[in-house]
Amino acid sequence: MVLARPLSRLGAGAVTLVLVAAGLLACGEKPLARAPVVTDPATLDQLSQKCVQESDPKACQTACDSGVAASCNDLGHLYELGVNVTRDGIAASAYYRRACDAGDMGGCFNAGYALENGLGGRQDAGCALALYNYACNGGFTRGCLTAGFMYKSGIDGKKDDKKAIEVFQKACAGGNVTGCNQLKELGQPQAP
């Protein structure tokens, strides 16, 4: 990754995203490049709607292959639950990761969930935490909440209440009531 400015000028949030992205690559996760299948915005919108409204795996697949990140995440859900496709944890995990690689923070959260729970066969709490933090830093408060619970309960036997508080504050500031309640439980003021 080439940065146009030194890290010190990017600000804390950007530095965190750079470090988390580096952590994701360290987990052996590499972005998948795909050539767009459909480029017409109206057609992509129709495919995305059909994907969501009808749980149509072919529409989801085409939209995903064309760069619609949310459709990759939706297709992951179809495979995870076995809706109109054969249930397949490996495929679900792969589509969640594609969604994340394309910028869908819900996909990053789901990819973390898949790694935390071994959905795709691989179980890795450290990499799951990196994905939850990435989703959190991208504004997905469920990622903040889940990372907070992991820090609070301890990963590899190491509790980190300071980091738990930090991510619970982000969840609370983003409107996640459970994050606010966790701050209260830890004796911390709620974020504004």
What is the CB-side half-sphere exposure of residue 139 using CA atoms within 13 A? 2
Range of the domain at 64: 35-124
Give the total number of structural domains in the chain: 2
Q: Give helix then strand counts, H and E, for the chain.
A: 11, 0
152 shares a domain with 118:
no
- The amino acid at residue 57 is P
The pTM of the whole model exceeds 0.95: no
Residue 148 lies in a domain: yes
- Residue with the bigger pLDDT between 10 and 102: it is 102
147 shares a domain with 104:
no
148 shares a domain with 107:
no
88 shares a domain with 52:
yes
Instruction: Output the CA angle 118-84-44, nearest 5 degrees.
Output: 95
Residue 21 lies in a domain: no
Distances from the Cα of 94 to the Cα of 12, 64, 88, 157, 166, angstroms: 30, 12, 10, 29, 30
Share of the chain above pLDDT 90, in %: 69
Identify the pLDDT of residue 174: 94
Residue 155 lies in a domain: yes
Q: What digits encode the pLDDT tens for the residues 138-157? A: 999 999 999 999 999 998 66
Q: At what angle do helices 177-185 and 161-173 cross, to 10 degrees?
A: 140
106 shares a domain with 39:
yes
Confidence band, pLDDT 50/70/90 cuts, at residue 41:
confident
Identify the pLDDT of residue 11: 43
